[in-house]
Amino acid sequence: MKLSVLFLALFITHCAYSQNYSVEGRLIDENKEPISFATIIVKTAVDSAFAKAGTTSTDGSFQLQNLPKNSYLIEFSMMGYKKNIKSIELTENLDLGEVLLISVPESLDAIVVSTTKPIVQVLADKTVFNVENTINAVGTNGQELLRKAPGVVLDNNNNIILEGKTGVQIWIDGRPSRLAGTDLENFLQSLQAADIESIELITQPSSKYDAAGTAGIINFKLKKDKGLGTNGSLSTTATSGDFLRTSNSINFNNRNRKGNLYGNYSNNFGKSTGFLYLNRTQNGINFNARTQSVYNRNTNNIRLGYDYLASDKSTIGALASTSLSNRFDSNNSRTPIRNLSRTVNDSVLVAANNSQTKSQNSNFNLNYRFKDKLNHEFNVDLDYGYYNNDRETYQPNVYFNGEETAVLSQNITQQITPIQLDILALRMDYEQDFLKGKTAVGIKGSYVNADNNFMFLNQESGTFVLNNDQSNQFEFIERIYAAYINYNRTLGRFNLQTGVRMEHTTSDGNLTSDQENINNRVKRSYTDFFLSGGLTYSASRNHQWGLTFSQRIQRPNYSSLNPFEYQLDELSARRGNPFLQPQYTDNLKLNHTFKYRFSTSLSYAYTSDFFTQVTEQDGANGNFINERNIADQEVWNLSISYPFQITKWWNYYISLNASSITYTSTDPNFVSTSQETLGFYMQNTISLPRDYRLEVSGWYSSPSVWGGTYETRALGSLNLAVQKKFLDNKLNIRLAFNDVLFSSFWQGTTRFGELFIDGSGGSDSRNVALGLTYNFGSSEIKKARSRKTSLEDEKSRVD
């Protein structure tokens, strides 16, 4: 709280008064058509010092605010057009009217060849990782690509860590994902690199964003709305690991003067493998479980959107998406059991578990946007989200004697676990010029109904019979009402942004079962205020400094609150925790950017009531997994990223992330701990003769602590890829060799109370992938708008 008060006092301090003016106008081409999303650079006329940057809106209009009295050069540029540089003397608010850009006579293909986005772009409010410029991305999925993003680490359980902190909110194409846990992992694995344009890292969201996500937001920006006319791309990839699997996609965009229709379809078919080894010791008994798994996935993703330009001020849009998945998992487990005083096994548990999971993830959005030349902007989003997951698990458990020559006992069960989630959300935002800056206000309301059913069946005389004592239904209803205000102002080379967000949450969890449970009904109601702010200083075109602060919350996943216990196997169970509290985080970050490329940041975060998944002893032989608030967490993090050119034919990029994490125990069974962790990603892109490109990349993570309880060993990966383009660069062929040294599997140990586990796990990450991409249609670059919707953190908490 002291940190919050100190930072707020910093922002209340007034800078010296200076008279500022604005420049506005509208950018058009020779046919009087508006030019959207063109780049505007303002420099002082005397010394060409960078003063301001901006872009044109959908209708070609622009407004540059808070420029001091001075002489300026304003540069307008857009791919496919000649630059237009205007000289102005700014002594009052200036309207330039219509500004003309002339299209270049050369073919755009020639321009595209000579223009390449950098791998990483460091912007004022986010860092952008341009996936489409990474040739060894072929054959990889959304989850695997995160390992290559600057400042991002995936731990041994595939949890996402951003700048040393967990609690990341995942967005898909500007829309928050509602999934979490295994469901989110499966969905990210269904997203193919061929469908992803870039990954945006927003570590310090302002008060405009939902406060959920203690580490910030990661947005996967999909390939779409690429140009004027009709265009798109087709891609296919074959990956050979332990099995052969394929992924295919098509995306298109059709734009005319009044509207833009865009969409994409992708799929993922085939098998992959995994392994999980857990050597557990408790009460003097050792359980050495070794599980081999085969995953057979059949996933289809469809997205379709349309934007209608009702006038030069108003746009109406609709967006629909659905993901359909059918997954078959086969897990073969063998667990020798022995007393530590003996050298031979007492018994062996053999289990061949099979499961089928069918899921549907659908979202629908209607939106309206109004913006006039006076810089009044009004946005409305109405969203409905539906998620359904039906899973059936067949779980035979057979105990053999130590020599595995005779059956001692067996227990065959079946579990049917349907989950349904309905979300409705409405958001309204309004912005206008105010007090020589821009003020934004907004409100939001969301309603969530999560229905979890668990049916446990025992096999009796060859027939499965429902076990009412181990079955239940858990319904969770949550309402969140939010309001925010945000203010942004430029004072010379300084930019000030500050705001506050209020969120009121009410929830009701209701358990229905035949078991007596004193926690069968848990109601909550609480109100929180979250401060955020930022101060940036553009010392010159080469040096930009920034200081940002934000307060965040991470609410538990819906199913984590379910107090019922259900079996994972004969010896392991999972229990929900209805009293699991949200965790709160204060974030402070100082960053510096040199020439828009070399980025350095130092951040500090303090999290109270940190919760994580722990494994605890259950009786003599059993154990159970649940989530608990175990500690307060402090994170210091240093991030460095730098893309640079060694020679004309050799480009290099490195991202370095160093963290120091301390967990101070608030639970008697948890031992306070601290850990220093170093992680990096590097990439070499080499241009070879005959237009071949070679890419050598790799990532590394030093020993770390996962969730405050698991001490993991170092891991990493080395990847190779080669690319060749044909047919005037429309056909792209890529060949990639992933995890060449097979070093990306995790190893670690954990102790909680009297239970100790030495474990490891991984997948068939060492594989070869061949990908082909063909671009068709118009090559004119003219993007349609991207749309953020009102389903935010409530969509990200399905486990």
Query: What pLDDT digit, counting tens, does each position of 545-560 carry?
Result: 889 899 999 888 776 7
Tokens describing residue 72: 């300026």
Confidence band, pLDDT 50/70/90 cuts, at residue 166? confident
- Both ends of the chain: CA-CA distance in Å? 31
Report the C-alpha gap between 201 and 212 in whole angstroms: 15
Helix (H) or strand (E) holding 133: none
pLDDT reading at 605 higher than 60? yes
Residue 114 lies in a domain: no
Give me the pLDDT at residue 106, please.
Answer: 41
pLDDT reading at 795 higher than 50? no
Q: Which of 105, 140, 168 is the last residue of a domain?
A: 105
Give me the pLDDT at residue 12, please.
Answer: 35
pLDDT reading at 569 higher than 70? no
- Which burial class, exposed, middle or buried, applies to 2 when counting CB atoms under 10 A from its CB (0-12, 13-18, 19+)? exposed
Residue 690 lies in a domain: yes
Report the C-alpha gap between 227 and 784 in whole angstroms: 8
Radius of gyration of the chain (CA): 28
3-state secondary structure 94-113: EEEEEEECCECCCCHHHHHH
Domain of 148, CATH number, reads 2.40.170.20
Number of Cβ within 10 Å of residue 706's Cβ equals 20
Residues 35 and 94 placed together within one structural domain of the fold: yes
Confidence band, pLDDT 50/70/90 cuts, at residue 370? very high
Residues 141 and 95 placed together within one structural domain of the fold: no
Task: Give the range with max mean pLDDT: 19-23, 173-177, 382-386.
Answer: 382-386
How confident is the model over 458-481, as a mean pLDDT? 89
Confidence band, pLDDT 50/70/90 cuts, at residue 344? very high
Residue 111 lies in a domain: no
489 vs 15, 18, 79, 311, 562, CA distance in Å? 11, 12, 30, 29, 46
Report the C-alpha gap between 47 and 67 in whole angstroms: 16
Residues 314 and 448 placed together within one structural domain of the fold: yes
Residues 41 and 127 placed together within one structural domain of the fold: no
Residues 136 and 36 placed together within one structural domain of the fold: no
Report the C-alpha gap between 760 and 623 in whole angstroms: 18
Confidence band, pLDDT 50/70/90 cuts, at residue 74? very high
Residues 159 and 32 placed together within one structural domain of the fold: no
Report the C-alpha gap between 635 and 661 in whole angstroms: 5
Residue 277 lies in a domain: yes
User: Residue 142 half-sphere exposure, CB side, CA atoms within 13 Å?
Assistant: 26
How confident is the model over 667-686, as a mean pLDDT? 85
How confident is the model over 124-145, as a mean pLDDT? 65
Give me the pLDDT at residue 132, please.
Answer: 66
Give me the pLDDT at residue 786, please.
Answer: 47
The beta strand positions in 283-376, using DSSP E, are 285-309, 314-339, 347-371
Q: Which structural domain range is residue 54 located in? A: 2-105
Q: Which of 105, 128, 156 is the last residue of a domain?
A: 105
Confidence band, pLDDT 50/70/90 cuts, at residue 500? very high
User: Which residue is it, tokens 């934000």?
Assistant: 550
Give me the pLDDT at residue 780, please.
Answer: 46
How confident is the model over 692-709, as a mean pLDDT? 84
Give me the pLDDT at residue 563, please.
Answer: 66
Confidence band, pLDDT 50/70/90 cuts, at residue 118? low
Give me the pLDDT at residue 109, please.
Answer: 37
How confident is the model over 602-615, as a mean pLDDT? 89
Give me the pLDDT at residue 160, please.
Answer: 79
Report the C-alpha gap between 291 and 277 in whole angstroms: 6
Give me the pLDDT at residue 572, please.
Answer: 74
Report the C-alpha gap between 286 and 265 in whole angstroms: 49
Query: What pLDDT digit, counting tens, does each position of 576-600 carry?
Result: 787 888 999 999 999 888 876 788 9
Residue 113 lies in a domain: no
pLDDT reading at 729 higher than 60? yes
**Nearest-10 Cα torsion for 127, 646, 539, 546:** 30
Query: Which of the pair, 32 or 502, is modelled with greater confidence?
Result: 502
Give me the pLDDT at residue 752, please.
Answer: 75
- Amino acid symbol at 198: S
Residues 148 and 73 placed together within one structural domain of the fold: no
Helix (H) or strand (E) holding 472: strand 472-491
Residues 77 and 132 placed together within one structural domain of the fold: no
Query: Which of the pair, 163 or 238, is modelled with greater confidence?
Result: 238
Confidence band, pLDDT 50/70/90 cuts, at residue 708? low
Residues 566 and 501 placed together within one structural domain of the fold: yes
Taken as a whole, the chain contains a residue count of 799
Tokens describing residue 614: 């722990």
Count of domains in the chain? Answer: 2
pLDDT reading at 526 higher than 90? yes
Residue 276 lies in a domain: yes
Residues 64 and 127 placed together within one structural domain of the fold: no
**Cβ-Cβ contacts under 8 Å for 284 (sequence gap 6 or more):** 339, 340, 341
**Cβ-Cβ contacts under 8 Å for 619 (sequence gap 6 or more):** none
Give me the pLDDT at residue 498, please.
Answer: 92
Number of Cβ within 10 Å of residue 89's Cβ equals 11
Give me the pLDDT at residue 89, please.
Answer: 87
What percent of the chain shows pLDDT beyond 70? 83
215, β-bridge pairs: none
Number of Cβ within 10 Å of residue 434's Cβ equals 13
Q: Which of 72, 105, 138 is the last residue of a domain?
A: 105
Query: What pLDDT digit, counting tens, does each position of 616-669 carry?
Result: 777 777 777 788 888 899 999 998 888 778 888 898 888 888 999 999 988 887
Give me the pLDDT at residue 108, please.
Answer: 35
pLDDT reading at 8 higher than 70? no
Residue 620 lies in a domain: yes
Domain of 21, CATH number, reads 2.60.40.10
- Is the separation of the CB atoms in 215 and 234 below 8 Å? no
- Which burial class, exposed, middle or buried, applies to 461 when counting CB atoms under 10 A from its CB (0-12, 13-18, 19+)? exposed
- Is the separation of the CB atoms in 583 and 560 below 8 Å? no
Query: Which of the pair, 233 or 420, is modelled with greater confidence?
Result: 420
Tokens describing residue 218: 């990661």
Q: Would you call 46 helix, strand, or coil by DSSP?
A: coil
pLDDT mean across residues, the chain: 82
Residues 128 and 44 placed together within one structural domain of the fold: no
Report the C-alpha gap between 20 and 436 in whole angstroms: 8
Task: Give the range with max mean pLDDT: 16-25, 73-82, 524-533.
Answer: 524-533
Residues 90 and 151 placed together within one structural domain of the fold: no
What percent of the chain shows pLDDT beyond 90? 30
Residue 81 lies in a domain: yes
